[in-house]
Amino acid sequence: MIQIENLTKIFHSAAGEVTALREVSFSIEDGDVFGIIGMSGAGKSTLLRCLSMLEQPTSGRILLDGVDLASLRGKQLLAARRRMGVVFQGYHLLMQKSVRENVAFPLRLAGVRRAEREARVDELLELVGLADKANAYPAQLSGGQRQRVAIARALATNPQVLLCDEPTSALDPLTTRQVLELLRELNQRLGVTIVVITHEIAVVREICNKVAVIDAAQFAEGGRTDEIFAKPASSITRLLLGVEGGRKHA
Amino acid sequence: MLETILSLKGVLLEGLGATLYMVAGSTIFSYLLGLPLGVLLYTTGKGGIHENLPLNRALGWIVNIGRSIPFIILIIALIPFTRLVAGKAIGPTAAIVPLVIGAAPFVARLVEQSLQEVDTGVIEAAKCMGATRLQIILQVLLGESLPSLIRGLSITAITLIGYSAMAGTVGAGGLGDIAIRYGYYRYQTEVMLFTILLLVLLVCLIQFLFGFTANRIDKRNRS
């Protein structure tokens, strides 16, 4: 379980202070497909960077099974990172390495033996439907295929949580549906918790059983997707849903 | 003309050998110094995996000072140091010392630039996968920038051909030395032209070989 407690992140720059997140609290249960939705600039990406331990919270805590992520150092930090797979918006694949080497990369970092590594990679590529592309290089793949490689790579260390940043924003509608289908399947087959950061309401509606709406650095509302979407309490949710009563947004 | 060249065959071959020896030796040693320095320049920079701005600025200054001293002056100024390291101040082996000192800062900048081409997102992704800093340097930074590093290597080798010709003027031998001794002091222009031709061929060969290798191994070119 992931508990986010009063998470605040302030960036200091020459232009002054920017509060990217203010007192955000909610929890993600094991096995959820959890959507975090908001407009661009709402703070979603900062939230993902805090969850993936790329940024330290200014105040507040993120607990993974009761352990404060910010308190981890050294080996424990590396171990915690292996329990969370991250799929980045830009995929961030190693361009000089083949699909096989990319998926094997986290295993190599973890010191997994070669034979075991190879078997796991085959299994993962099978899982994401890219077994025939094992020896291709990222430059030879389409956006949807790269996304699948990124997903397979993130799953390599058997993480309990898969964090996905805008997994479909660069994909066409058909590929989007396939990638979402894959995420749902992974959640059901592997029991992995999936957190999807998105600005697209359709993505949340399609696969997320729960949702948190982030607006202007704050938590607007959250809960079961069907309930939130049936009775949106905040004006930002109404706006995202495109229903009457949503406030005008610049 | 051909007769003069043929009569100097031995001298020219020896000169070519000395040039190749100096260029190869100094390229290897300038990378032994410059590659770690370039990695350090990159990783200690702002947002780097070992961010340390005072160290980064100090290294930057050292590199800039090293690069701003004209090479011909560096050779002279380094004579006592050269004697200390190589045991002598004259000859191709001795020339490698100033060549390395002159080229290492240049190599450091080239390496830094190659590393800057690596997508920072890939470095973050590796961090998220639990990579240690050493793993990031070896497997992500150097691995992803390898084609660019090889292109930098050819620039270094070619620059060192030019530097080695200068080193020739202070008794290092090599093609530059022949060009000056025969072509300039003895007015044998054809010898000078011939050594220039050899140098041009050498540069083209290096450029071609390294460029070809870099393109060949660059997986971004696959389609």
- The predicted-structure confidence for B53-67, as pLDDT tens digits, reads as follows 999 999 999 999 999
Is B215 in the A-facing interface, judged by CB distances under 8 Å? no
Q: Is the pLDDT of residue A247 over 60?
A: no
Q: Is the pLDDT of residue A250 over 50?
A: no
ipTM for this model: 0.89
Q: By three-state DSSP, how is residue A60 classified? A: strand
What residues of chain B lie within 8 A of the CB of A96, using their CB?
143-144, 146-147, 217-220
Q: Which domain holds residue B18?
A: 2-218
Cβ density class A198-217: b for 16+ within 10 Å, e for less = bbbbebbebbbbbbbbbbeb
Q: List, in sequence order, every beta strand (DSSP E) within A29-82.
A: 33-37, 59-64, 67-68
Cβ density class B33-60: b for 16+ within 10 Å, e for less = bbbebbbbbbbbbeebbeeeeeebeebb
| Res B21: pLDDT | 95
Q: What count of CB pairs under 8 Å joins A to B?
A: 78
| Res B8: pLDDT | 87
**Do A198 and A21 meet the contact criterion of CB atoms below 8 Å apart?**
no
Q: Is residue B77 part of a domain?
A: yes
Q: Is the pLDDT of residue B130 over 50?
A: yes
A6-46 pLDDT per residue, tens: 999 999 988 889 999 999 999 999 999 999 999 988 899 89
CB contacts under 8 A, A 54-83 vs B, are 54, 78-79, 81-82
Q: With an 8 Å Cβ cutoff, are A96 and B143 in contact?
A: yes
Residue A134 CB neighbours (<10 A): 17
Q: Is residue B150 part of a domain?
A: yes
What is the number of domains present in chain B? 1
Identify the DSSP state of A43.
S
Mean pLDDT across chain B: 93
CB contacts under 8 A, A 143-172 vs B, are 153, 157
Residue A185 CB neighbours (<10 A): 12
Tokens at residue B61, please? Answer: 């200054």
**Do A28 and A210 meet the contact criterion of CB atoms below 8 Å apart?**
yes
What residues of chain B lie within 8 A of the CB of A109, using their CB?
126, 129-132, 135, 139
| Res A246: pLDDT | 55
DSSP letters, B62-105, are: HHHHHHHS-HHHHHHHTHHHHHHHHS-SSSHHHHHHHHHHHHHH
Q: How far is B21 from chain A (nearest CA, A)?
A: 32
What residues of chain A lie within 8 A of the CB of B146, using their CB?
96
Q: What are the angstrom distances between the C-alpha of B77 and each of A150, A198, B72, B86?
A: 54, 62, 9, 15
Q: Is residue B188 part of a domain?
A: yes
Q: With an 8 Å Cβ cutoff, are B139 and A52 in contact?
A: no
Q: How far apart (Å, rounded) are the C-alpha atoms in residues A130 and B4?
A: 67
Q: How far apart (Å, rounded) are the C-alpha atoms in residues B73 and B75?
A: 5
Q: Would you say how long chain B is, in residues?
A: 223
Q: Is the pLDDT of residue A222 over 90?
A: yes
Is B125 in the A-facing interface, judged by CB distances under 8 Å? yes
A77-120 pLDDT per residue, tens: 999 999 999 999 999 999 999 999 999 999 999 999 999 999 99
Q: What percent of chain A has pLDDT over 70?
A: 97
Phi-psi region of B75 (alpha: psi -120 to 50; beta: other; left: phi over 0): alpha
What residues of chain A lie within 8 A of the CB of B222, using their CB?
136-137, 139-140
| Res A228: pLDDT | 93
Q: Is the pLDDT of residue B208 over 50?
A: yes
Q: What are the angstrom distances between the C-alpha of A70 and each of A23, A144, A207?
A: 16, 34, 30
Domain harbouring B82, CATH code = 1.10.3720.10
Mean pLDDT across chain A: 92
Is A112 in the B-facing interface, judged by CB distances under 8 Å? no
| Res B61: pLDDT | 97
Q: How far apart (Å, rounded) are the C-alpha atoms in residues A113 and A103?
A: 14
**Region A129-153: what's the mean pLDDT?**
95
| Res B170: pLDDT | 72
Q: List, in sequence order, every beta strand (DSSP E) within A111-235.
A: 161-165, 193-198, 210-215, 218-224
Q: What percent of chain A has pLDDT over 90?
A: 82
Task: Please tell me which residue of chain B has the smallest CA distance to A158.
Answer: B129
CA A111 to chain CA centroid, Å, is: 25
Q: Please give the single-letter amino acid code of residue B53.
A: L
Q: Is residue B223 part of a domain?
A: no
What residues of chain B lie within 8 A of the CB of A86, using their CB?
125, 128
Instruction: Report which of A247, A203, A1 is spatially closest to residue A237, judged by C-alpha positions.
Output: A247
- For residue B210, give every residue at least 6 positions away whose Cβ sits within 8 Å of its Cβ, in sequence order, or none: B150, B151, B153, B154, B157
Confidence bin at B156 (pLDDT 50/70/90): very high
**Region A150-170: what's the mean pLDDT?**
94
| Res A164: pLDDT | 96
Q: How far is B221 from chain A (nearest CA, A)?
A: 7
| Res A35: pLDDT | 96
Confidence bin at A245 (pLDDT 50/70/90): low
Task: Please tell me which residue of chain A has the smallest CA distance to B134.
Answer: A109
Residue A95 CB neighbours (<10 A): 19
**Region A159-163: what's the mean pLDDT?**
96
CB contacts under 8 A, A 175-214 vs B, are none
- Of all helices (H) and strands (E), which one includes residue A27? strand A16-28
Cross-chain CB nearest to A88 (options B125, B217, B219) = B125
| Res B44: pLDDT | 97
CB contacts under 8 A, B 36-95 vs A, are none
| Res A248: pLDDT | 52
**Region B161-171: what's the mean pLDDT?**
85
Confidence bin at A180 (pLDDT 50/70/90): very high
**Do A8 and A22 meet the contact criterion of CB atoms below 8 Å apart?**
yes
Q: Is residue B105 part of a domain?
A: yes
Cross-chain CB nearest to A139 (options B122, B125, B222) = B222
Q: With an 8 Å Cβ cutoff, are A95 and B221 in contact?
A: no
